[in-house]
Amino acid sequence: MFRNQYDSSTTTWSPQGRIHQIEYAMEAVKQGSATVGVKSKTHAVLVALKRAQNELSAHQQKCLRIAPHCGMSMAGLTADGRGLTNFMRTEALNYEMVYGSDMPVARLVDVVGSKLQTPTQIYYRRPFGVGLLIAGYDKQGPHIYQTCPSANYYSCKAMSIGSRSQSARTYLEKFLDDLEGCSKNDLVKHGLMALRETLPTDQELTEHNVTVCIVGENQKYAEYNNEETKQFLDLLDSTKKPARERAQADDAAPAEEPAAEEPAAMEE
Amino acid sequence: MLASAYSVSNGMEPSTRTLSPSVTGGSILGIMFEGGVLLAGDRLGAYGGLHRFRDIDRIIKVNDNVLITYTGDVADFQYIEEILEDEQRENDMRNDGYELGPSEYFNLMGRIMYNRRSKGNPLWNRIIVAGYDKAADKPFMGQIDSKGTVFESHLIGTGFGGFLVHPLMERELEKIDGRPTKEQATQILERALKVLYYRDKTTYNKWSIGTTEKSGSSIEASRELATNWQIAKLIVGYE
């Protein structure tokens, strides 16, 4: 999208009925590294690709626990994501204190949605520059929710957001019907295979750049990093994007990659 | 602080917290059976020793799975009732498939009562929350008092119901292995109510009986017990 005279403020409509600042905020999500969420009848799983700024730094954390029954992963401005998580943790904790039971995930996402909406309609504020995938388990079963800087939120059977996430979504669409009946490990495997689709040609899934989070029936939110991810990576036939897709991507690559690679101001 | 009509020359304002209850509701009996809970309480709002209001609802149906009742100050419970109604209304408005069950209301009331106690201005009530917990698939009953003490139990008796009748019901229940059936519980309750009415002078012979089960909750508004005061002659010392 190109600059125009209607894009300097979040309180300015364009003649086409768009608010460009919100759309620009959604671009920030697309710059972040990919994350995938999938659910079966009994579990909800998040997998995320962690980026490291440089060789000296650790891979940046993408997933956070909200409550024993839900967690999230993010793409975009992780600082914004952390602020939102803090808010969600307070809300979930408050609900548990008052009612003695887990906050329904739908209601948690609803209050986050309201919080996201506020800065899209006030002059001196900016939209949150982060998209969240929220995975949770409550009386109504497992849930995957996606939130946007636009303050829209969507309940999903499976979803992927972040850089090159369309490839993951294509994978998920193909296997959508298989997900419901999956075992926990098969579900993680599908998540990782979807995530694998988002890799650039020179990268592979390693125990350092992958996070796996699982929540569900008789399973409190559990997060797996570093050595702990080995058990899930071992389920895959390969940690690299399948060769056929790689060759195609190589042909198509040059135009796409620079835009997606390490923008300086953006963390991950 | 309230704008005071009292001149405060010595710097002390009058106490505005509840010091004693005014119109009060009496004993409540609650008995859990296989698949549900029975609650019973009379329809009396007493003004000290006077049987002032003889037709009040003391058992309220919050939703299809929750009945709440009380002993103690009627006005304080009417305030609580508003809170409960608001809570239920908000939940209904959302209409998102999540229901508040008895344990949620029990927790909520526990928090409210303890909070009031901590401020030194308690609600002068003993609240009984009963219902069917759909998530755990079993009946629920618990009590919260004005200090914020909470506990769950399969048998509850407050006031005179607690002193006199609770042991009686407990002895009957001990004869049964596990939870009683609805019919057994009903029989035990009816006998207990009779004893309560005969022995406790503050009761009034108009009773509300609440039943809550998996299929839903209902309140039989007004029942009168058949009594035979001829037995009074058997009491030693009765003229």
3-state SS, A66-132, equals EECCEEEEEEECHHHHHHHHHHHHHHHHHHHHHHCCCCCHHHHHHHHHHHHHHHHCCCCCCCCCEEE
Amino acid identity, residue B130?
A
Query: Which two structure tokens, joined as six digits, stand for A16?
Result: 């086409």
Residue A51, domain member (yes or no): yes
- Helix pair angle (A184-196, A165-179), 10° resolution: 160
**pLDDT band at residue B4 using 50, 70 and 90 as cut-offs:** low
User: Phi, psi at residue A43, to the nearest 5°?
Assistant: -135, 160
Amino acid identity, residue B89?
R
Q: Give B109→chain A minimum CA distance, Å.
A: 9
Residues 6+ apart with CB under 8 A from B65: B99, B101, B102, B131, B132, B133, B134, B212, B216, B217
Q: Give A100→chain B minimum CA distance, Å.
A: 6
Lowest mean pLDDT among A209-213, A251-255, B21-25, B108-112: A251-255
- Helix pair angle (B74-94, B102-118), 10° resolution: 130
pLDDT at B238: 76
Alpha carbon distance A93, A161 (integer Å): 27
Alpha carbon distance B74, B91 (integer Å): 25
Q: Are strands B207-213 and B36-42 parallel, antiparallel or unpaired?
A: antiparallel
- Residue B223: burial class (beta carbons within 10 Å; 0-12, 13-18, 19+): middle
Residue A4, domain member (yes or no): no
The pLDDT mean for chain A works out to 91
Instruction: Using the predicted structure, report yes or no on whether residue B165 has a pLDDT greater than 60.
Output: yes
Instruction: Using the predicted structure, report yes or no on whether residue A262 has a pLDDT greater than 60.
Output: no
Buried b or exposed e, range A51-90, using 16+ CB within 10 angstroms: beeeeeeebbbbbbbbbebbbbbbbbbbebbeebbeebee
Instruction: Using the predicted structure, report yes or no on whether residue B41 has a pLDDT greater than 80.
Output: yes
B12 contact A CB<8A:
no
Residue A202, domain member (yes or no): yes
- Residue B7: burial class (beta carbons within 10 Å; 0-12, 13-18, 19+): exposed
**Which chain B positions have a beta carbon within 8 Å of A98's beta carbon?**
107-108, 111
pLDDT at B203: 95
Residue A164, domain member (yes or no): yes
- Complex ipTM > 0.90: no
Cβ pair B189, B39 in contact under 8 A: no
Query: Which two structure tokens, joined as six digits, stand for B48?
Result: 């000290």
Alpha carbon distance A48, A132 (integer Å): 11
Lowest mean pLDDT among A5-9, A103-107, A249-253: A249-253
Cβ pair B44, B56 in contact under 8 A: yes
CB atoms within 10 A of CB A36: 31
pLDDT at B237: 83
Please, what's the largest Cα pairwise distance for chain B? 67
Alpha carbon distance B203, B199 (integer Å): 9
Alpha carbon distance A25, A2 (integer Å): 14
**Which chain B positions have a beta carbon within 8 Å of A99's beta carbon?**
100, 104, 107-108
Listed residue (B141, B64, B139, B136) closest to B99, CA to CA: B64
pLDDT at A103: 97
pLDDT at A268: 42
Listed residue (A90, A68, A252) closest to A166, CA to CA: A252
pLDDT at A78: 95
pLDDT above 70 coverage of chain B, percent: 95
**Which chain A positions have a beta carbon within 8 Å of B111's beta carbon?**
97-98
Residue B158 annotated as catalytic: no
Alpha carbon distance A157, A173 (integer Å): 10
pLDDT at B3: 52
Domain count, chain A: 1
Chain A segment 123-142 residues within 8 A of B by beta carbon are 138-140
Distances (CA, A) of A105 to A67, B95, B236: 10, 14, 65
Interface test with A, best of B83, B94, B98 (most A CBs within 10 A): B98
Which run of H or of E encompasses B73? strand B66-73
Q: Give B115→chain A minimum CA distance, Å.
A: 11
By C-alpha distance, the chain A residue nearest B105 is: A99
pLDDT at B6: 56
pLDDT at B5: 59
The pLDDT mean for chain B works out to 93
Instruction: Using the predicted structure, report yes or no on whether residue A258 has a pLDDT greater than 50.
Output: no
> CATH code at A215?
3.60.20.10
Residue A256, domain member (yes or no): no
User: Phi, psi at residue A219, to the nearest 5°?
Assistant: -140, 105
Instruction: Using the predicted structure, report yes or no on whether residue B12 has a pLDDT greater than 80.
Output: no
Higher pLDDT pick, B237 / B180: B180
Residue A199, domain member (yes or no): yes
pLDDT at A234: 94
A107 contact B CB<8A:
yes
CB atoms within 10 A of CB A125: 12
Alpha carbon distance B192, B165 (integer Å): 6
Which domains, ranges and CATH numbers included, belong to chain B? 22-216 (3.60.20.10)
Residue A251, domain member (yes or no): no
Span A189-210, average pLDDT: 94
Residue A3, domain member (yes or no): no
> Could you report the per-residue pLDDT of A86-104, keeping only the tens digit for each?
999 999 999 999 999 999 9
pLDDT at A249: 56
Span B4-23, average pLDDT: 74
Contact A99 B97 (CB under 8 A): no
Query: Which two structure tokens, joined as six digits, stand for B185?
Result: 């519980």
Q: How many CB pairs under 8 A join A and B?
A: 29
Listed residue (B236, B234, B232) closest to B197, CA to CA: B232
Q: Are strands A158-161 and A35-39 parallel, antiparallel or unpaired?
A: antiparallel
pLDDT above 90 coverage of chain B, percent: 84
Instruction: Using the predicted structure, report yes or no on whether residue A36 has a pLDDT greater than 90.
Output: yes
B106 contact A CB<8A:
yes
Domain that holds residue A128: 21-237
Contact A98 B100 (CB under 8 A): no
Residues 6+ apart with CB under 8 A from A239: A196, A204, A205, A206, A233
> Could you report the per-residue pLDDT of B72-125, keeping only the tens digit for each?
999 999 999 999 999 999 999 999 999 999 999 999 999 999 999 999 999 999
Alpha carbon distance A6, B163 (integer Å): 76
**pLDDT band at residue B14 using 50, 70 and 90 as cut-offs:** confident
Lowest mean pLDDT among A50-54, A127-131, B3-7, B223-227: B3-7
Instruction: Using the predicted structure, report yes or no on whether residue A263 has a pLDDT greater than 70.
Output: no
Of the residues B18, B149, B181, B227, only one is catalytic, namely: B18
pLDDT at B19: 84
> Could you report the per-residue pLDDT of A174-183, keeping only the tens digit for each?
999 999 999 9
CB atoms within 10 A of CB B131: 30
Q: Give A98→chain B minimum CA distance, Å.
A: 5
Span A103-121, average pLDDT: 97
A104 contact B CB<8A:
yes
**pLDDT band at residue A1 using 50, 70 and 90 as cut-offs:** confident
